[in-house]
Structure formats: C-alpha cells, structure tokens
Amino acid sequence: MASRPRSRRLRRTLLAALVAASVAVPTAGAAGPAAVPAPSPAPLAPLSLAAPGELAARYAANRSAVRAAEAMADAHGDHGRAATLRAMAGEDHRLLSFDGRDGGRSVEVFGDLVGATRAAVLVPGSDTRLDSHRFRSGAAALQRELGRGTAVLAWLGYRTPATLSAAATTSGRAEEAAPLLASFVRELATAAPRARLTLLCHSYGSVVCAEAADRLPVADLVFYGSPGTGADRAADLGTTATVWAGRGTDDWIAHVPHVRASLPFGALGFGTDPVAPEFGARVFDAGPGGHSDYLRPGSIPLRNMARIVAGRDPADA
C-alpha cells in the first residue's frame, strides 16, 4: 500500500515541475532563426506526379526559393543560417515545399515518390528546425529500411515549440499545425492514389497528428516517444486508421505526467499515455533506446515502424 502514496506524490511533483516550466520559461528559444528575414515563396501549383518533369520542376523552384532565403540571411548577417540554407539548396535535397520565414518550413522527399506504393510522412516534435540533422537522417534511414518503391516525406510544416517552454506543454502549436498537416496529406493522397500512407508522429508531433487525425486519409497513425495526444482514448481521435504507439524503455518522456489540467491560460498536459492499455492503441516494441533513438539505423523501433509502413505487423509486439 505504501507504493501508491509515493506514486501520487511523484505524480504531483512532476506536474508541479511541468507547471513551473510552462510559467518560468515561456520565451525559451524565442530569439534565433525565427527573427531572420526571408522572402515570401512563390505560389506553387497543386502537387502532381503525372509526369516526372513536373516534380523535377517543383524541386528546382524550391531550390531557387532556398537560394533567395540564403541571400537574405547573409545580408542580414546570420551567416550560420545562410550556411544551412546553402546546404539545403544542393541537388541532394528534394523539397516539395519551402518557406524561409518565421524560422522556416519545408517538406523533403526521400525515395521514389512517383513510383511509391508505400509512403510515410514524418511529423517531428519540439526543437526541430531546418538545420536539424537528426530529423533528415532519420527520414533517410527509414527510407533505406523500407527499400524500393517507397518514399518518406519529412514534414517540417509548423513552428515547433522549444522543449523547455510553455508551448511544449499545451496544444496551441498543434492546433495551428493541424490544418496545414491535413491539407498536405490530402494533397499527397490525391497526387499518389496508389500509395498506402502512414503518419509517423514523434514526441510533440503526436499532438499535432492527433489534432488532425479525423481529417487524415491514412492507413496507419503511429505515435512514438509521445507525451500524450490530448485524447483519452484512441477511439476519440475520430480516425479509421489503425493507431499504434511505442516508447523506448530509456525514453525520458515516460516520466512526464500523463495528465490534462485546465488552467487560466488553457489546458496543460496531454492526458492518457498512448502506450497504456486504456488508451487502446496497438503497442509495438520500441526497444531499449531513448527519446532521440527511434529512427537510428539498425534499431528495433526503426525496423518495426518500417514494417507498419509496409502494411505488416511489427515484430515482438
């Protein structure tokens, strides 16, 4: 019986720490890339995969947009940001979209989008930026694991919160991002009707996906390293997709209180743990890794998420 009061005290302590962080660090990460000016991107035609030349033209247009943003960042004196953009303008980056304003947004393609019969959209969590090498390398690792006839799309389509900020403990950024994600996924589904679509949502990205879930034409919805989704149960998401959840045994996110509290400035926390039985997701083995290890080459979660994208059951689930 003694363990239950200790568990409750730990829960209250963690919740207090979460509230303190949300109040004391509301402006963390406010300065930086978001303050660097960039030109408005030229409007793009709806995504079409009818002819390879159309996709190549879209990639070329976005490379031009990146170069324009690079020149403006250089003139502004942010040479680090300019160097990031210079690398993004290389031929090895295939961007479906790019907007350098307000910290930057992009959608990058890995694999064969035109011929894909399986496609995954990665939705990142907090502190993911245009220069986040781990996000790009994880997308590349997943596509290699999937193999031929597949594509992975790294969707950095929203202003991700800083980990230590009020924004990371509330759903405000996710509510802003959800219609953008839904619009993109619907456009992708129209352009690639043969492709089986899966959404892979990491950390705070799972809150984004949950907000958009009832508007997403996907076969599978995967939450990994999730603090919660804002929903009490998978059934409350309003999706016909199969809902999956996984968490590494060394992931610190497990210690975040799985609560949702109403405060004067909004709801704090994201509710039920997605890997808990009461949430109702299909739980897959995410191995012994930490919060940033899910897409590490050769890892258990990478293999299992690739199997889900391929329409197969994960191993050891």
Tokens for 247? 């968490």
For the ranges 17-21, 71-75, 249-253, 290-294, the lowest mean pLDDT is seen at: 17-21
Mean pLDDT, rounded, for 53-79: 95
pLDDT at 276 over 60: yes
Mean pLDDT, rounded, for 53-68: 95
Q: Quote the pLDDT of residue 293.
A: 97
Q: Which amino acid is at 191?
A: A
The pairing of beta strand 261-263 with beta strand 266-268? antiparallel
Long-range contacts of 28-32 (CB under 8 A, 24+ apart): 28/162, 28/164, 28/165, 29/127, 29/161, 29/162, 29/164, 29/165, 32/103
* Confidence band of 27 (pLDDT split at 50, 70, 90): very low
Contact 124, 153 (CB under 8 A): no
Contact 73, 12 (CB under 8 A): no
Q: Give the tens place of pLDDT for each residue, 145-194.
A: 999 999 999 999 999 999 988 899 999 999 999 999 999 999 999 999 99
Contact 287, 259 (CB under 8 A): no
Tokens for 248? 């590494």
Higher pLDDT, 118 or 35: 118
* Confidence band of 35 (pLDDT split at 50, 70, 90): confident
pLDDT at 317 over 70: no
Tokens for 168? 């990371």
Give the span between the Cα atoms of 110 and 288, in whole angstroms.
27
* Confidence band of 4 (pLDDT split at 50, 70, 90): very low
Among all chains, which residue has been given the structure tokens 């070329």? 60
* Confidence band of 33 (pLDDT split at 50, 70, 90): low
Give the span between the Cα atoms of 228 and 161, in whole angstroms.
16
* Confidence band of 266 (pLDDT split at 50, 70, 90): low
3-state secondary structure 189-216: HHHCCCCEEEEEEECCHHHHHHHHHHHC
Contact 219, 199 (CB under 8 A): no
Q: Which amino acid is at 82?
A: A
Higher pLDDT, 45 or 35: 45
Q: Collapsing DSSP states into helix, strand and coil, what is residue 168?
A: helix
Q: Give the tens place of pLDDT for each residue, 102-158.
A: 999 999 999 999 999 999 999 999 999 999 999 999 999 999 999 999 999 999 999
* Confidence band of 9 (pLDDT split at 50, 70, 90): very low
Q: Collapsing DSSP states into helix, strand and coil, what is residue 156?
A: strand
Mean pLDDT, rounded, for 249-263: 89
Q: Which amino acid is at 195?
A: A
For the ranges 35-44, 160-169, 223-232, 255-264, the lowest mean pLDDT is seen at: 255-264
Q: Could you tell me the CA-to-CA distances from 71 to 57, 67, 96, 294 in Å, in that order?
A: 21, 6, 21, 35
Tokens for 55? 């996709």
